[in-house]
Structure 1
Amino acid sequence: MIGGRFLFLFYVLSVSWVGAASAWDSDLRLVLEVRDKIHREYVAKVDSLRVIDAGLDGLVTALDAGDNLYRSPSELGLEPRSLDDRAQVGLLAEALQEVQGQYLLSVSPDSLQRGVVRGMLSALDPHSNYLSAAEYVDMAETYRGDFEGIGIYFEVRRGRLLVIAPIVGSPSYGKLRAGDHIVEIEGVPTDGISTEEVIEKLRGPRGSPVRLGVSRQGRDALLDFVVRRERIKLKSLPYVFMLAGNTGYVRIVRFAETTAAELGRALAALRLQGMKRLLLDLRDNGGGLLQQAVEVADYFVDSGSLIVYTEGRGFDSRHEYRARRPFWGEGEPLPLVVLIDHGSASASEIVAGAVQDLDLGLVTGQTSFGKGLVQGQFPLRSNGGLLLLTVARYYTPLGRLIQRPYTDDIQAYIKAGVDDVDPNSIDSLRAGKEIFYTASSRAVYGGGGITPDVLLRVEEYSDFAIDLFSSGAIADFSGIWVGGRGDWPQDFAEYRTGYEVPEEGFADFAAFLRDEGWEVGAEDFAAHRDFLHRELKAGFARVLWGDEQYYRVRLDGDGEVEQSLGLFGEASALLARRTGTGY
């Protein structure tokens, strides 16, 4: 028993008595630093004992061997004992000593502290998080939008290192292609390699070489490439196209340091190509940097208008973010449709919420994720890690709270709002939600997430289709099919509009699946004819030209995009009657 609480360590084997670690005051530095930040900076006051109990739960969760558990007094039906600050720290130290002294295996104090920290944060909300020093570096790299390496999208599938696509403009572009199997790195076989090992071996200082042995369909001998690493730019806007009807299309996949600048260049380029209306695709964009969301929205908002505001713990904690550019920058305002789904979160919801509240455009798709908590970044002195701690909440210009309700059950939180919604009924999306009204008297809805103005039908994939995606069978077959043929159109535009997958292609794909152990019936192929044609054609395009062309072919069969293109009449009417009044 420790501090009126019970720590049970159930052993798989006999107890290993390791001497209790000394100087727990220094070994607790990470835990105490995080605990101090929680009490000083968190968006709301917290129950300190609840945080400690959650930390002890996290401690035993970090122990791999045996069924270990921690039980608080309330869970044991006992009267909770009041503990002051000093006693709470003593409780943590005592628990760590018990684990170090009695647990079956030797565990480093650092690992135990990380368990305690993650446990404490779980008592707060679903988005406060702790990153190790290495994870901190990875996150900074992601938001910076670049890294040093050879520039490929890859996947480790059944122990084989496969190239999904080279990044356009990277050292690998023009050498490697989709479907290639990298069998050696610096002469060492890659069989059984892990994703982490691939990253470690392929990334490195700019200008340094790496030798790759590559197996390619249609070539008997192993191909030998020496690729010199370079700084690889990760685009926030990897897909920028002109669609039918003078429609510009922009897909934003993240909000990183360069996102707004990329959007400015994309809009300028599309205007030069004759863009008269814009479809902004934010599906599956989980967010990113708040300031970048503000700067992206600023392209479509009147100067001075409120884009988003945050409120934290203090009475004077409201912070407003307003537009600085003229409406649509220097160009003519255009009809705008913003496409969202359940994967659109955080920064994506800031943009969609501003567009909707300010009558700037039509929001289509499905209700967004509902992530409206602002995480402050606190570098940790004790170990070089990073604390992402919720310090405020986002609100749309009309005052709608973006954040969905949540409990301690993270999995339930992730599923909430999806399982209880009828995807074919806009009424189910709006049921029970608070109503707000825009300047043009349009109703928009609170209650978490952004409810679309127009609900779109979602393509429901069958089990057969999902299995094809998850197995990588289409990508594998595409490399084989393209590698065995040379009669392909030289021009992608000709391929996109004119190529049809021949019957031989379908038959060979069916044979390929059977060789791989699939039970494929004629009825499966008949029922999935359109789906298979689109996916095979896109897979061939990725091998022949790259990822951008792969995506462009898939976009031609994207039902939500097609539905959104049919709604520009409403978007045009909205633009025409917009008052332009700021909030």
Structure 2
Amino acid sequence: IQDNDRGVVVGAASFGKGSVQTIFDLREREDESSALKLTTALYYAPSGRSIHRAQDIARPVHRVLFGDRELPHQLVMDLILRSENRAKALSALQSHFDMDSESAESVLLIRLGDLVGKSKMGAAGLPDSMGNQTYYTQRGRKVFGGGGIRPDISVESEPFPPYVQELERRRLFFDFVIDYVSTDSSWAEEHPDLTVCDEMVEGFMEFVRTKDIGLDQGQKGLNQIADLEDLAEKMDWGEAAQESIQQLRVAVKQEWERRYSSELEPYIKSALRRELILRFRGRKAQLLEGLQEDVQLAKAIEVLADREQYLGVLAAEEAK
């Protein structure tokens, strides 16, 4: 559709799975279990671009600059954290990176936050060098290869917070609604619009607490940070590391408090309402309810209704 200029693509960039794998059986006897999984084909769009995102693109290696060298941060952190004390950490760094003792000492003084590393990312979450391979549609519009399909009009839908997603995964919204309405046979008659009230939300949160799904994870995270603080003191990482760990503690605490704040209430109400609609009106009604909240669909309808905007998107670059 996009490469042939047959329509406007609205939404978010796709992941970029455009390869075909073939499994070759390598067994010589029936009691063996060996095979070779080999990539044998790539999908190409009409413009000639491959939408496949290569493995090294999907998982960029973050590196931290140290003098005139680039050290992979994950390996540096692994060597340090696996060492029992400062002396062994220094020895591991010297041995692995072939550096002198002074350089190894300097690595230990790098701020913890800097060791996380950063990579320069372009559109669609790709490194600039890999995500901007330019191709052209039939009308001469620019499209890009190297990692998924980028829409003509980008509209990112807001995902549910991780905690709400976890509740969904454990089917707690479904289980609660079944229990809630079964105890009151007249509930649907008294609430024909299936509105989720504050009382139901409070009841749901109490229901969640009885399921023991790890509401103490925030405290566990803080305990792990405390262990990291002890390790930093034991290995004498210095003030820079302690400052970074303290920043991590503050960030974890703020995130955990945010998860249980009133910001979650709209998401919980939405999830409960979807389950109520499924229970009383069926799957089709539930799907239609979801479409009404779909910001990408709303944008697509808006573009379709605006002929000038629609044709403007499809116009070649030189014609704009």
Q: What TM-score range do you get, normalising by the shorter chain? A: 0.5 to 0.7
Query: For the Cα contact (< 8 Å) 2:17–2:53, is it kept in 1?
Result: yes
Change (3 A) 1:464 1:389: closer
Structure 2: gaps (5+ residues) = 62-117, 217-255
Per-residue CA deviation, residues 241-289 of structure 1 (Å, 9 max, x unaligned), is xxxxxxxxxxxxxxxxxxxxxxxxxxxxxxxxxxxxxxxxxxxxxxxxx
Change (3 A) 1:405 1:567: same
C-alpha RMSD of the superposition? 4.2
**Amino acid paired to 1:364:** V
1:546 positional shift: 4.2
Superposition map of 1:163-174 within 5 A? none
Query: For the Cα contact (< 8 Å) 1:362–1:571, is it kept in 2?
Result: no
Indicate yes or no: 2:139 matched with 1:440: yes
Change (3 A) 1:475 1:416: farther
**Amino acid paired to 1:366:** A
1:459 positional shift: 1.0
Counterpart of 1:374 in structure 2 is 20
- In the alignment, the residues of structure 1 paired with residue 307 and residue 128 of structure 2 have an alpha-carbon distance, to the nearest angstrom, of 24
Counterpart of 2:175 in structure 1 is 476
Indicate yes or no: 2:153 matched with 1:461: no
SS of equivalent to 1:367: coil
1:377 positional shift: 6.0
Counterpart of 1:516 in structure 2 is 211
Superposition map of 1:90-489 within 5 A? 355-376=1-22, 383=30, 389-407=38-56, 414-415=58-59, 426=123, 431-432=128-129, 433-487=132-186
Task: Return the structure number with greater helix share.
Answer: 2
Change (3 A) 1:489 1:442: farther
Query: For the Cα contact (< 8 Å) 1:394–1:403, is it kept in 2?
Result: yes
Change (3 A) 1:499 1:448: same
Query: For the Cα contact (< 8 Å) 1:458–1:559, is it kept in 2?
Result: yes
- The two structures have a TM-score, normalised by structure 2, of 0.52
- The two structures have a TM-score, normalised by structure 1, of 0.31
1:536 positional shift: 0.2
**Amino acid paired to 1:443:** K
Per-residue CA deviation, residues 436-477 of structure 1 (Å, 9 max, x unaligned), is 222222111122321222222231433432332233321221
Query: For the Cα contact (< 8 Å) 1:373–1:392, is it kept in 2?
Result: yes
**Amino acid paired to 1:528:** L
- In the alignment, the residues of structure 2 paired with residue 576 and residue 558 of structure 1 have an alpha-carbon distance, to the nearest angstrom, of 22
Change (3 A) 1:482 1:452: same
- In the alignment, the residues of structure 2 paired with residue 450 and residue 576 of structure 1 have an alpha-carbon distance, to the nearest angstrom, of 16
Indicate yes or no: 2:272 matched with 1:536: yes
Indicate yes or no: 2:297 matched with 1:561: yes
Per-residue CA deviation, residues 48-72 of structure 1 (Å, 9 max, x unaligned), is xxxxxxxxxxxxxxxxxxxxxxxxx
Counterpart of 2:310 in structure 1 is 573
**Amino acid paired to 1:563:** K
Counterpart of 1:284 in structure 2 is none
Structure 1: gaps (5+ residues) = 1-354, 408-412
Higher mean alpha-carbon deviation, 528-537 vs 458-467, is at: 458-467
Per-residue CA deviation, residues 70-127 of structure 1 (Å, 9 max, x unaligned), is xxxxxxxxxxxxxxxxxxxxxxxxxxxxxxxxxxxxxxxxxxxxxxxxxxxxxxxxxx
Per-residue CA deviation, residues 8-57 of structure 1 (Å, 9 max, x unaligned), is xxxxxxxxxxxxxxxxxxxxxxxxxxxxxxxxxxxxxxxxxxxxxxxxxx
| Percentage of matched positions with identical amino acids | 26
Give the aligned length. 212
**Amino acid paired to 1:481:** Y
Counterpart of 2:88 in structure 1 is none
Query: For the Cα contact (< 8 Å) 1:367–1:450, is it kept in 2?
Result: yes
- In the alignment, the residues of structure 2 paired with residue 552 and residue 540 of structure 1 have an alpha-carbon distance, to the nearest angstrom, of 13
- In the alignment, the residues of structure 2 paired with residue 362 and residue 392 of structure 1 have an alpha-carbon distance, to the nearest angstrom, of 28
Query: For the Cα contact (< 8 Å) 2:120–2:128, is it kept in 1?
Result: no
Query: For the Cα contact (< 8 Å) 1:378–1:388, is it kept in 2?
Result: yes
